[in-house]
Amino acid sequence: GQQVMQIPQYQHVQEGEDFTTYCNSSTTLSNIQWYKQRPGGHPVFLIQLVKSGEVKKQKRLTFQFGEAKKNSSLHITATQTTDVGTYFCAGSGAGNNRKLIWGLGTSLAVNP
Amino acid sequence: GAVVSQHPSRVICKSGTSVKIECRSLDFQATTMFWYRQFPKKSLMLMATSNEGSKATYEQGVEKDKFLINHASLTLSTLTVTSAHPEDSSFYICSARDYWGGSSYNEQFFGPGTRLTVL
């Protein structure tokens, strides 16, 4: 079945360093979403990418959707302690199937 | 933004009892709600998709007779864990999709989760 792989599983960085998490789907996606879950909290929607090659920015966060719509990345520039949490990607299949297939998440720890 | 509530936030029960968890969309209508289970430091595991007015669609490996889902209205879905056992202890999270959502129609809004502990 359709799978979404996400790497790395864990990442420790020093505050101020950059961070990137990658998602790869076994099949072409109609869109991909990114969520952030703070420790002890619930996932919160960050963004949705729909177009091939799309790049979107939210302050220090840059999201990319691959040309083939099978991979995506989230890059954080100059991490801060507030960036701590787990970042999930979730891809939606093509056609009328809007079920999200979730990556396993990348847990980010930021040392002050 | 859209708000989803979940009740209770925590529940402790004895083995063999049933527990009902409610998920409500507070300021929007949700034709579809999702139920997830999350183990500590693990990813979300989709248990079932709940559509208003119809039977829930369960993921492979999820027992429909054990995890009863009812989606009686556009703002309420319930998950009942029947005859709970210690291995059912987990963090259960619901999410809802906004019926009228525009370009982000596929966005899911998550509830705060319910921590279930079965003794």
> CA of B67: how far to CAs of A78, A85, B12, B58, in Å?
44, 29, 17, 9
Residue in the block written with tokens 């703002």 = B75
The pLDDT of residue B90 is 94
The pLDDT of residue A40 is 86
> Residue A68 and residue A26: Cα distance in Å, rounded?
11
**pLDDT band per the 50, 70, 90 thresholds, residue B100:** low
CB A65 within 8 A of CB A75: no
Measuring CA to CA, which residue among A47, A58, A60 is closest to residue A16?
Answer: A60
pLDDT in tens, A71-105: 999 999 999 999 999 999 999 876 555 678 899 99
Q: Which of A41, A48, A105 is opposite residue B104, by nearest beta carbon?
A: A48
Structure tokens belonging to residue A70: 């099978």
Q: What does the pLDDT average to over B34-48?
A: 88
Coil, helix or strand at residue A18: coil
> Residue A69 and residue A104: Cα distance in Å, rounded?
19
3-state DSSP percent of chain B in helix, strand and coil, to 5: 5, 55, 45
Residue in the block written with tokens 């003794």 = B119
Q: Which of B103, B104, B111 is opposite residue A42, by nearest beta carbon?
A: B111
Q: Is the pLDDT of residue B103 over 50?
A: no
> Residue B108 and residue A18: Cα distance in Å, rounded?
28
The pLDDT of residue A95 is 58
CB A28 within 8 A of CB A94: yes
Contact A43 B106 (CB under 8 A): no
Closest-CA residue of chain A to B113: A42
CB A65 within 8 A of CB A53: yes
Coil, helix or strand at residue B98: strand
Closest-CA residue of chain B to A102: B44
Cβ pairs A/B, distance under 8 A = 45
Closest-CA residue of chain B to A96: B106
Residues listed for chain B: 119
The pLDDT of residue A98 is 64
pLDDT in tens, B47-99: 999 888 788 999 999 999 999 999 888 899 999 999 999 999 999 999 998 76
CB A68 within 8 A of CB A49: no
pLDDT in tens, A13-69: 999 999 999 999 999 999 999 999 999 889 999 999 999 999 999 999 999 999 999
